[in-house]
Structure 1
């Protein structure tokens, strides 16, 4: 998946799930890792990082 594809997918996931999107991506990382799908897990890590960056700093 290209960097542009990662960003597009992260935006779509964020639109669909809002603040829950990062947790959804993290769950997919765990599922793919547990299944031994390292390439897919890395794609989901990239998507999660992109979502995290989109959300920006969180107020405490």
Structure 2
């Protein structure tokens, strides 16, 4: 399997689509995918999913306390 880093536009688009499809659970799904890729040693794909997770945080905006 070829390792590659996604481009910023791909990261943003994937995050946006995941949020549209899964709503509030999108961030947890991205974190689970990242962890699964880390566990199997696919660090490039894990890094992509960590970037998607971070993008979802930014898309959510500030949290209210």
- The two structures have a TM-score, normalised by structure 1, of 0.96
Query: How many residues are aligned here?
Result: 60
Q: Which runs of 5+ in 1 are unaligned?
A: none
User: Any gaps of 5 or more consecutive residues in structure 2?
Assistant: 1-5
Whichever structure has more helix as a proportion of its residues is 1
2:36 paired with 1:39: no
For 1:57, which of 48, 51, 62 is the aligned residue?
A: 62
Aligned equivalent of 2:16 = 11
SS at match of 1:36: coil
Q: Which structure 1 residue ranges, 4+ long, deviate > 2 Å from structure 2?
A: none
Q: Say what the alpha-carbon RMSD is for the aligned residues.
A: 0.6
Give the greater-gyration-radius structure (CA): 2
